[in-house]
Amino acid sequence: YHKTEFSALVYLPVVGELVEAEVVEIVDFGAFVRLGPMDGLVHISQVTDDYIVRDRKQGILVGKETKRILREGDKVRARVVTVSMKGSGTSKIGLSMRQPGLGKFEWIEEEKKGEEGSKG
């Protein structure tokens, strides 16, 4: 036996927490995003208020009315809506981007510019 010390960096998401993440995979039912050491799912119904369809050929999610596109590598801001930790390797994190100030960073900037334009 040896005396040892461990240092561990641990992340446990909390419901309601805002997170910034990178889209790592687009699937039929939404987008998986990387939250540090783990991935979370933004279900297709939680991407935006617009009706979203998946373009399998290009591997993207597209808004029917807004034509907004979400693809792998995009940086997003989301809110944690569900957390299920069932042991090592089986955690499930549900996220939403359907609130003001959430979504792909470019969308957030567009919304800010739109609000500034309507004020002036």
Task: Label residue 118 by pLDDT band (50, 70, 90).
Answer: low
Tokens of 117: 């334009």
What domains are defined for the chain? 18-119 (2.40.50.140)
For residue 26, give the 3-state DSSP assignment: strand
Of the candidates 62, 72, 79, which has an alpha carbon nearest to the alpha carbon of residue 23?
72
d(CA 33, CA 56): 18
- Whether 120 has a pLDDT exceeding 60, the answer reads no
Report yes or no: 83 and 28 within 8 Å, Cβ to Cβ.
no
pLDDT at 85: 82
How does the average pLDDT of the chain come out, rounded? Answer: 91
Report yes or no: 24 and 33 within 8 Å, Cβ to Cβ.
yes
Report yes or no: 112 and 102 within 8 Å, Cβ to Cβ.
no
d(CA 57, CA 44): 17
Of the candidates 65, 45, 62, which has an alpha carbon nearest to the alpha carbon of residue 54?
62
